Amino acid sequence: MADVDVYLSGTPTGRLAKVGEKHVFTYDVPQTSDVNNREAVSLTMPLRLESYSHEALHPVFQMNLPEGHLREVIERATAKQYGSDDLTMLAILGRNHIGRLEYSRSGQPLPPKSDQVPDLFSLLGSNDEQLFSQLMDRFALQSAVAGVQPKVLVDLAANPTDKVTFPLDSYIIKSWGDEFPELACNEYVCLTLCREAGLNTAPFYLSDNGRLLITERFDIDDNKVPMGFEDFCVLQGKTTREKYDASLESCTNVIRHFVSPEYQPRALSDFFKLTLINILVRNGDAHLKNSGVIYSDLKGHTVGQLPAVKRFLAPVFDVVSTVPYLPNDTMALSLTGSKRWPKWKVLEKFGKSHCGLNNREIKTIVADIEQAVHKTLPLLAKLKNSHPSFAGIADQMEKLMHTSFDS
């Protein structure tokens, strides 16, 4: 197991190593006394001379490690030659991570990025049922993205004539397995509901055959510069395995601590709205890794003081209705100590006590969601008709979306 050099958008920042049973990260020795010219790798790991030790891999480095089918594909291609430990996985994936962090084997340069890209419209219009398998084979080694749902990171040209024209837009392409059929249609409906309700979502698309959900990456700004992103697992100091071991109340504490003060009221309001939508559609997988904070950089982030940079609640992503597949599913995170789907009085109290909302604001949020449901139901009916195998799931989702919060 080799040590790993850690980069921030191409700039060397520190070294990550396995020392005995611990993972140790040490910032590079500063070349200047001006701390404002240096950057931290995480909101939870400010600049300091002392190393950061962690029994498991530090949460910020663990955040984007592939899971499920994607990790299996990568390990089949690389384990024999390179090994399959977490540090090796980070180095193999190099600069193809969500956020600003990049990795290489110690002493070796960052690998170049590939310019061989498909175009967005050909993916959306393809009827090839094996297309995602082909994308997985081609792009798995460029896809450091967490989650058990099959997905890959791909740079796509905006149109068929721009296949190798830069800048390219970067997307996350997701499919589904036999265990959760028609999940792309499911998530497309749920994200549409979120968008219609006024929540911030990255642009997203459904392929014509309903097999692929393609979402534009929100961690790359308009100038194609990677932004910092940290999910709530990282910000609560938890490992990926602990993504269900928290509460909705603790998430509001994260927002208050890490989102810039001027953006906290909107962030808390949006988090409450998202919570209501997750409960409405019965999303039992709204865990800590499905919320996060984004920012441009962490220059000058030292112990005891958060950086002055603007820090926002990240756009909404990974919203699905899980109960059609798992009828007895519960909430991913607890509320008042329980993961049972809560009654309205509990939600109302959560909105007031933890999200800082008053009665008028809560009523407005509920009205926004009800109006969004009205706008989204025709889409659900359209997808039900165009994708017959989605019909049974769509019927259950329609029934859920007709449910009143106070019922």
Q: Is 99 in the same domain as 125?
A: no
Nearest to 321 by CA among 378, 373, 290, 279: 279
Whether residue 200 is contained in a domain is answered as yes
pLDDT for res 386:
94
| Residue tagged 């993504």 (tokens) | 243
Of all residues in the chain, the percent with pLDDT exceeding 90 is 58
Whether residue 112 is contained in a domain is answered as no
Q: How far apart are CA 395 and CA 189, in angstroms?
A: 13
Q: Is 248 in the same domain as 393?
A: yes
Please give the residue that has the higher pLDDT: either 209 or 169: 209
Q: What is the mean pLDDT of residues 375-387?
A: 96
Q: What is the mean pLDDT of residues 78-89?
A: 68
Tell me, what CATH number does 263's domain have? 1.10.1070.20
Q: Which residues, 6+ apart, have CB-to-CB distance to 338 below 8 Å?
A: none
Whether residue 255 is contained in a domain is answered as yes
Q: How far apart are CA 102 and CA 177, in angstroms?
A: 30
Whether residue 223 is contained in a domain is answered as no
Q: Is 289 in the same domain as 388?
A: yes
Whether residue 288 is contained in a domain is answered as yes
Residue span of the structural domain in which 147 resides = 120-216
Q: How far apart are CA 272 and CA 312, in angstroms?
A: 15
pLDDT for res 131:
44
pLDDT for res 143:
42
Residue ending a domain, choose from 181, 216, 251 = 216
Residue ending a domain, choose from 216, 238, 260 = 216
Write down the mean pLDDT value for the chain. Answer: 84
Whether residue 407 is contained in a domain is answered as no
Q: Is 94 in the same domain as 201?
A: no
Q: Is 167 in the same domain as 315?
A: no
Q: Is 46 in the same domain as 95?
A: yes
Angle of helix 359-386 relative to helix 391-401, nearest 10 degrees, comes to 160
Q: 10 Å Cβ neighbour count for 289?
A: 23
Please give the residue that has the higher pLDDT: either 268 or 107: 268
**The pLDDT of residue 176 is above 80:** no
**The pLDDT of residue 327 is above 80:** yes
pLDDT for res 171:
78
Report the number of distinct structural domains present in the chain. Answer: 3
pLDDT for res 154:
44
**The pLDDT of residue 147 is above 80:** no
Q: Is 364 in the same domain as 232?
A: yes
pLDDT for res 168:
35
What confidence tier does 65 reach under pLDDT thresholds 50, 70, 90?
A: confident
**The pLDDT of residue 120 is above 50:** no
Q: Is 391 in the same domain as 246?
A: yes
What confidence tier does 35 reach under pLDDT thresholds 50, 70, 90?
A: low
pLDDT for res 193:
98
Strands 311-313 and 292-295: antiparallel
**Inter-CA distances, 159 with 117, 119, 215, 217, 403, Å:** 11, 6, 16, 17, 41
Instruction: Identify whether the C-beta of residue 354 lies closer than 8 Å to the C-beta of residue 248.
Output: yes
Q: What is the mean pLDDT of residues 181-208?
A: 95
pLDDT for res 352:
98
Q: Is 257 in the same domain as 188?
A: no
**The pLDDT of residue 139 is above 70:** no
Q: How far apart are CA 391 and CA 384, in angstroms?
A: 5
Q: Is 348 in the same domain as 327?
A: yes
Q: Is 279 in the same domain as 390?
A: yes
Whether residue 65 is contained in a domain is answered as no
Residue ending a domain, choose from 216, 247, 277 = 216
What confidence tier does 177 reach under pLDDT thresholds 50, 70, 90?
A: confident
pLDDT for res 163:
25
What confidence tier does 114 reach under pLDDT thresholds 50, 70, 90?
A: low
Three-class secondary structure assignment of the chain:
CCCEEEEECCEEEEEEEEECCEEEEEECCCCCCCHHHCECCECCECECCCCEEECCCCHHHHCCCCCHHHHHHHHHHHHHHHCCCHHHHHHHHCCCECCCEEEEECCCCCCCCCCCCCEHHHHHHCCCCCHHHHHHHHHHHHCECCCCCCEEEEEEECCCCCCCCCCCEEEEEECCCCCCCCHHHHHHHHHHHHHHCCCCECCEEECCCCCCEEEECCCECCCCCECEEEEHHHHCCCCHHHCCCCEHHHHHHHHHHHCCHHHHHHHHHHHHHHHHHHHHCCCCCCCHHHCEEEECCCECCECCECCCCCEEECCECCCCCCCCCCCCCCCCCEECCECCCCCHHHHHHHHHHCCCCCHHHHHHHHHHHHHHHHHHHHHHHHHHHHCHHHHHHHHHHHHHHCCCCCC
Whether residue 114 is contained in a domain is answered as no
Q: Is the peptide bond before 167 cis (omega within 30 degrees of 0)?
A: yes
Q: Is 284 in the same domain as 378?
A: yes
What confidence tier does 80 reach under pLDDT thresholds 50, 70, 90?
A: low
**The pLDDT of residue 30 is above 80:** no
Q: What is the mean pLDDT of residues 127-139?
A: 48
Token pair for residue 22? 């611990």
- Give tens-digit pLDDT for 186-197: 999 999 999 999
Q: How many residues does the chain have?
A: 407
Please give the residue that has the higher pLDDT: either 315 or 306: 315
